[in-house]
C-alpha cells in the first residue's frame, strides 16, 4: 500500500500534468480558429478550380495531345504515396489514422503486384511508417522550421513530386491527409493528384459557356502543375486545422482524466490518513489501559 507521502507526491504530479494539458488545450483552441478559417477559405477556390479543370479535361478527353499529367504514362505499375502528417504528437489518433490509411493502401497495391514508393511530409508520418516500409522511402519533407505553412511550401513539395514524375520514377501519385470536419471529427482522405482525376461536372459550364484561347491542351499544360500545388496546399491547410482540432479534443480528455485521477487519489489519501490516525488512537488507548 502506498505511503501518505507517495500518494501526496502522485497527487501533486497529476495536478502539474493537468495544468500542462489545460494550457495545451487553450493554445490548440486559439490556433484552431485561425487554422479552421484558413482551411474553409481555401475550399471555394479549390472547388471552383477543380470544376474548371474538370470541364477542360472533359473537352480534351483521351486525345494524343493531352498533357502527360492528365493522360498519365500509360501504366499504373509504380505508385508514389505522399503521406502528410504533423510534426508533433499529442493530438489523439490524428497521425496514426492517416498512417493507417496509407499502410492499408500500400498493402493493397503490393497485393496487386504494384511497386510502392513513399514520400512523407511531417515527422510523425515518417516515424509511423518507416518500421514496415523503410525500404520504400524515397524522401521526406520537414516542415518543423516553418511557423506557418504557406503556399510556397506546397509549391516546393509539388516541384519535387513533378520532378520525380518527369524523371519517370512513378506512374501514379496519391496524397494522404485528414479533412477537417469539426473538433471531434477529422476524416483520413486519399486523393490522387497524378494523373489528375476530376469529378465530372454536371452541365459542364467550363466547356459550354466559355471559349478558351489558347486551346484547352495549352491551358491544361500550364494549369495542371498549379493544380498539383493547389491540392497539396489545400491538404496542408486541412491537416493544420485537423491537427489542432484533434489536439484540443485530446488535451480536453487528458485534463478530464487527470481530474478524475486526482479525485481518486485524494479519496485514497484521505482513507489512508484516516487509517493511520485510527491506528495511532488505538495505540494510545491500548497504552493507557495497560497503565
Q: Which residues are catalytic?
A: 91
Output the nine-digit C-alpha cell for 70: 492528365
Count of CA atoms in the C-beta half-sphere (13 A) of 70:
28
The dihedrals phi and psi of 106, each to the nearest 5 degrees, come to -65, -40
- CA 21 and chain centroid, separation: 21
Amino acid at each position: 500500500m502506498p505511503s501518505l507521502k507517495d500518494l501526496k507526491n502522485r497527487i501533486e504530479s497529476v495536478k502539474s500534468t493537468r495544468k500542462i494539458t489545460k494550457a495545451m488545450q487553450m493554445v490548440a483552441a486559439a490556433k484552431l480558429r485561425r487554422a479552421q478559417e484558413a482551411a474553409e477559405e481555401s475550399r471555394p477556390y479549390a472547388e471552383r478550380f477543380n470544376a474548371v479543370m474538370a470541364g477542360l479535361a472533359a473537352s480534351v478527353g483521351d486525345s494524343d495531345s493531352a498533357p502527360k499529367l492528365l493522360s498519365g504514362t500509360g501504366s499504373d505499375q509504380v505508385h508514389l504515396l505522399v503521406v502528410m502528417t504533423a510534426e508533433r504528437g499529442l493530438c489523439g489518433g490524428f497521425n496514426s489514422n492517416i498512417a493507417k490509411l496509407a499502410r492499408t493502401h500500400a498493402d493493397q497495391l503490393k497485393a496487386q503486384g504494384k511497386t510502392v514508393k513513399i514520400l512523407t511530409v511531417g515527422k510523425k508520418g515518417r516515424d509511423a511508417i518507416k518500421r514496415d516500409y523503410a525500404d520504400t522511402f524515397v524522401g521526406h519533407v520537414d516542415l518543423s522550421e516553418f511557423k506557418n505553412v504557406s503556399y510556397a511550401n506546397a509549391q516546393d513539395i509539388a516541384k519535387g513530386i513533378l520532378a520525380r514524375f518527369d524523371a519517370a520514377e512513378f506512374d501514379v501519385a496519391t496524397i494522404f491527409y485528414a479533412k477537417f470536419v469539426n473538433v471531434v471529427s477529422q476524416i483520413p482522405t486519399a486523393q490522387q493528384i497524378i494523373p489528375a482525376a476530376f469529378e465530372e461536372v454536371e452541365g459542364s459550364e467550363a466547356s459550354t459557356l466559355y471559349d478558351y484561347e489558347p486551346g484547352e491542351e495549352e491551358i491544361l499544360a500550364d494549369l495542371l502543375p498549379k493544380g498539383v500545388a493547389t491540392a497539396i496546399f489545400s491538404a496542408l491547410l486541412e491537416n493544420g486545422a485537423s491537427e489542432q482540432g484533434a489536439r484540443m479534443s485530446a488535451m480536453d480528455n487528458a485534463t478530464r482524466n487527470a481530474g478524475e485521477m486526482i479525485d481518486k487519489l485524494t479519496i485514497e489519501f484521505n482513507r489512508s490518513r484516516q487509517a493511520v490516525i485510527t491506528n495511532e488512537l488505538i495505540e494510545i488507548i491500548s497504552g493507557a489501559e495497560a497503565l
